[in-house]
Structure 1
């Protein structure tokens, strides 16, 4: 079957850090419906072969008509991410297909949720959290554990902190692995120590992991050591 590509217009670009951009787009397709956690794939003008041109990114916003947002890291030498990072401008048009993907929440949430991510792996969880808190504020407890290197790399911190104030059942934690500033008095180390401590009692929970393969493999191993089974763990791998 033929792949259907659509146009999306770049509405807004915000530099979140020196190598991460937050991009808002409008899909030029009337029935753009996605489930939080899904991704879109772009066909970018950066080469001849699909392997060079096609790149998938998780949607970082809750469903909102034709509007969707992305969080993109500029990787040196990554032609697609360099295009999104250095070349694309507001009002440009890009080709995309989707939404696709099975990294989504169940229709009925019966267990506590634990979201674990590093870097731009925050994207699908921002989509899920904004959707859940808009649509159904009375759900089970949700914890978000975010790991990154430095304080300046903590994405959407103010947004998640204000969400935490608003919704008692939402717990937000971040941890820094390379921050050497004396001003920072928060948690240092890696994301694993946070959820291991929180879920040491092995209470019923569903774990959602997003980011690089190494982190995900490590987390799966550690979560299973806490006594959970593979069916309690869902993941989206970015590399």
Structure 2
């Protein structure tokens, strides 16, 4: 009985998760342990010593108890099959966010003009063309951050003329640079230069240029007001946001033109609005709408901006690009709606950013 008490005390002293092992006590054959102790003591030359008989029994019981406890402990340290095939020093690699392809350097040089050859000219409407330029190597990229633009230089009538344009292509479009250009007969660079370009001709480019350098997380809501060819910088942002599944920014665009034929990139804009309704919505406005026109008409007034653009707030930005008269009126209306008026030099952090 004293032996059972000792074993019970041993089990109680063990950690709580081994307490279940106290259930083994009723199954230990104590009568046989006494006989075993006599055999062991006889072999050791001390058959009549109670001390050595008790010591032997305690040793045997300790061995049994530790064997059972060890077996249970192994269950806690057991690792699912498969992991043990790897060395213990092998650690899982931390997940690293993929690099932003729009920030990669490429063909463009911010200081020097570099030539590119026209590889294709596509007529989009009677006076709108898409010019595709081949980069030096098929795997090259433009190297133009989203929201920035390029400068083009040409000699016209003996004078050097430069103009800024925003490509409709980006770093995802390897091997090419694309511009959508509206030809104005009296335009210094469009009517007298782009109108006469042919496949194989070289055009000089420099960049990137501009204060805007968009990355995901810039803000939650973007309102855009564009007029005529002012849609091209907006389009670069719209495309980048819609094509990035990680970018949850919402965009509301008001795009104004004189006639329906003047709407640039209309099919592309409507496609983005249809495919990515959670990111983008567009409202077309015309000065001279045709019969049955479903969009807006007239000027982009304060009421139009209030209805179609996100409200002023810390997570809202407004972007403008178009004719000077439209931009001036839009700024005034936006300030009345609670947006802070921008300074003379545009900054990315402005409530109202002008391209």
- Which of 340, 344, 349 aligns to 1:229? It is 340
Partner residue, 1:92: 201
Segments of 5+ residues of structure 1 without an aligned counterpart are none
For the structure 1 residues 186 and 107, does the alpha-carbon distance in structure 2 shift closer, same or farther, using more than 3 Å as the test? closer
The one of 210, 213, 233 aligned to 2:324: 213
Query: What is the DSSP-based 3-state SS (H/G/I as helix, E as strand, rest coil) of the residue aligned with 1:56?
Result: strand
Distance 1:202 1:110, change over 3 A: closer
Q: Give the corresponding residue for 1:81.
A: 190
Q: Which runs of 5+ in 2 are unaligned?
A: 1-109, 342-349
Match of 1:48 among 122, 135, 158: 158
**Is the helix fraction higher in 1 or 2?**
2
Question: 1:195/1:27 Cα in 2 relative to 1: closer, same or farther (>3 Å)?
Answer: farther
| CA distance in 2 between partners of 1:140 and 1:79 (Å) | 37
Deviations 1:41-93 (A, max 9, x none): 1121313333xx22221222232234222222222332311134420012321
Match of 1:196, SS state, is helix
Q: Is the 8 A contact 1:175 1:187 kept in 2?
A: yes
Q: 1:223 and 1:106, CA in 2 relative to 1: closer, same or farther beyond 3 A? A: farther
Q: Could you say which structure has the greater relative contact order, defined with CA pairs below 8 angstroms and 6 or more residues apart?
A: 1
- Point out the structure with the larger strand share: 1
Contact persistence 2:142–2:177 (CA under 8 A): no
- Tell me the TM-score normalised to structure 2 length: 0.60
| Offset from partner CA, 1:19-42 (integer Å, 9 cap, x none) | 222222223385631012211111
TM-score by length of 1: 0.86
Root-mean-square deviation (Å): 2.3
Greater than 4 Å deviation, 4+ residue runs: none
Encode CA deviations 1:89-122: one digit per residue, 9 max, x unaligned: 1232111111211133255233201121011111
